[in-house]
Chain A
Amino acid sequence: MSANLIHLLIDSTLQTLYMVAISGLLGAVFGLPLGVYLATSRRGELLASPLINRGLGLVVNATRSIPFIILVVAIIPFTRMIAGTSIGTTAAIVPLTLAAIPFIARLVENAIREVDAGLIEAARAMGATPFQIIRKVLVPEALPAITLGMTLAAVSLIGFSAMVGAVGGEGLGDLGIRYGYQRFMPEVMLAVVVILIVLVQLVQSLGEWLARRVDRRAPRNRGH
């Protein structure tokens, strides 16, 4: 494999990491509060407003049911509005973020709903406001599950990012298609696949390590 190709592989890997990191971060910024709200606005919950909850749920489901490749091209005008262009790696962050938000929101919602109702009752009995309960009880107690959810989202984003070549987004997926497939360079395809496997492994291990670190639900060995 030529030095040129190795360069391409390194660049593509960095581009993939860039897209996944930024869209994951933005997805979390919007998805986390949305997920918390989805969990707490259900009937009988802290911020109960079942109608808004139902409406938001529909929007989230609708977004999630659009195949990612369709979403990418369908929102091109929106992408241009946000990113100033509809082509390129930075522009690709827009559809990736848009796909990440509802996904992360649902994962966070599930994590929050798993928190023992007794803890919410205890906090209410202390005179906590709904916002205090969210900040001091729900989110910290759901953090191990939220961390694992974010890991899952990051892995999914790595997969999604392979499709943004369709709008001129670069990265590993695009490299694999253009060189490995269209230029019949199986060694590039193989390299892309190997790098993706390693990336996913690393993200998964990192996520699980973080989740274990924040999880205090089981006693920890207090060795030296």
Chain B
Amino acid sequence: MTATGAAITFDGVGKAFPKRGGLVTALEGVSLDVPAGSVTGIIGRSGAGKSTLLRMVNGLEQPTAGTVTVGGRDVGRARGGDLRAIRREVGMIFQHFNLLSSRTVFDNVALPLEIAGTPRDALRARVRDLIERVELGPLADRYPAELSGGQKQRVGIARALATQPKVLLSDEATSALDPETTQTVLRLLADINRDLGLTILLITHEMAVVRDIASHVAVIEGGRIVEAGETYDIFARPQHPTTRSFLSGVTGVTLPAFIAGRLLPSAEGAAQEVIRITFAGDHATDPMLARLTSDLGIPVNILAGAVEEIGTRPFGNLLVSLPIGRAAEARAYLERHHLLTEVLGHVR
């Protein structure tokens, strides 16, 4: 993934549409570079505007302010044949696959090539390759109704790659799939990103998808991007409350129920402080808790924790409780050693 400039650039993008006399703002002041060769995730809740943003990349939606540039071309102002030419260089996959029920797997994958006017022989060879690439060879003559969700999405991916696009847009492509199938589809997307050097821009409401595949992430809330950067950094140092709330679902580390139920917001009358410690980067593997106890003599009570990998880098999360009298000292010590701490509450 050598990023050489941006494959897609959003510059001050806004979208407002008239509704009942007034104007509804779907997007406002969105600026974002999607690095070439990256897998960039846009995460947000439904209605946050992520779908509108994605659809601007292939001109299914037009911005009412700002510009969207793909491969150096202004999509927002392209019309007719120019716009169709851009669209052929941008593949798209969908949550509900959007395969033609009247066409076989082979003919579904062939559709973009038919539209582009590819000669028959070249079309057949290309479609065969694509179907092999997504491992659906034996199912080429089946109809979508005869396939599982994961198989349908693989047809969708093959179809999106047919015209050899430089950019692949993914609109909640795994949201309708079970967790196991989701992993298969995400792995296929990661392989394609690596093998073809294709830039993937995906939208999702699941942080797990971002963690598993995205090198970069942008968090969108109320039509604005509230946080963006490399996935690892965002996971390690989330700044915005929305990001934190998305993260809390995937770090796999939550307080055990017996503690969570007794958590007090104020320190008054409490004996222990509960904190979250985030280990990131080179410090993720340091035995910091042991040193906290041996250097300062502070007893640490581990409540929950996990170390996982984001990309190929380790990333740890620990929930611990400390004696309240020495908590501030312990946090200062940890921060000094480049760990991040967050006070979650107090217990008696």
Interface residues of A (CB under 8 A from B): 116, 118-119, 121-129, 132, 136-137, 140-141, 143, 214, 216-220, 222
Contact = CB atoms under 8 A, between A and B. Distances in A.
Most chain A Cβ neighbours within 10 Å, of B92, B112, B115, B163: B115
A127 B100 contact: no
Given A118-B96, A127-B88, A141 B163 contact: no
A134 to B, nearest CB: 12
Nearest to A126: B112
A121 B83 CA distance: 14
Nearest to B156: A122
A127 B85 contact: yes
Given A118-B94, A126-B115, A219-B146, A137 B100 contact: yes
In this complex, the interface size class of chain B, counting residues with CB under 8 Å from chain A, is: 20 to 34
Contact of B145 (A123, A125, A129, A218): A218
Contact of B101 (A123, A127, A217): A217
B87 A124 contact: yes
B58 A125 contact: yes
Interface string B97-134: 01011110000000110111000000000000000000
Nearest to B144: A216
Most chain B Cβ neighbours within 10 Å, of A119, A122, A218: A122
Contacts of A118: 94, 96, 98
A110 to B, nearest CB: 18
Contacts of A143: 102
B60 interface: yes
Contacts of A132: 115
19 contacts: A118-B98, A125-B58, A125-B92, A126-B87, A126-B88, A126-B112, A127-B83, A127-B88, A127-B115, A128-B115, A132-B115, A136-B111, A136-B114, A140-B102, A141-B102, A143-B102, A214-B102, A217-B101, A222-B146
Most chain A Cβ neighbours within 10 Å, of B102, B112, B115, B144: B102
A216 B94 CA distance: 20
A215 to B, nearest CB: 8
Nearest to A122: B98
A125 B115 contact: no
A140 B90 contact: no
Contacts of B84: 127-129
Contacts of A124: 60, 87
A216 B143 CA distance: 7
Nearest to A214: B102
A125 B156 CA distance: 12
Nearest to B108: A122
Interface in B136-182: 143-146, 163, 169
A216 B163 contact: no
Given A216-B145, A219-B145, A219-B146, A127 B98 contact: no
B155 to A, nearest CB: 12
- Listed from nearest, the 4 A-B pairs whose CB atoms lie closest are A127-B87, A127-B84, A122-B98, A118-B98
A53 B116 CA distance: 30
Nearest to A144: B102
Contacts of B143: 216, 219-220
Nearest to A137: B100
Contact of A140 (B87, B103, B112, B145): B103
B116 A121 contact: no
Contacts of A129: 84
A123 B58 contact: no
Nearest to A118: B98
A204 B267 CA distance: 79
Most chain B Cβ neighbours within 10 Å, of A140, A143, A216, A222: A216
A122 B145 contact: no
Contacts of A220: 143, 145-146
Contacts of B111: 123, 126, 136
Interface in B59-89: 60, 83-88
Contacts of A121: 60, 94, 98
A216 B88 CA distance: 27
A111 B104 CA distance: 21
Contacts of A218: 145
Given A119-B100, A140-B100, A220-B146, A126 B163 contact: yes
Nearest to B86: A127
A214 to B, nearest CB: 7
Contacts of B90: 125
A43 to B, nearest CB: 14
Nearest to B87: A127
B94 A122 contact: yes
Contacts of A122: 92, 94, 98
A209 to B, nearest CB: 17
B308 to A, nearest CB: 35
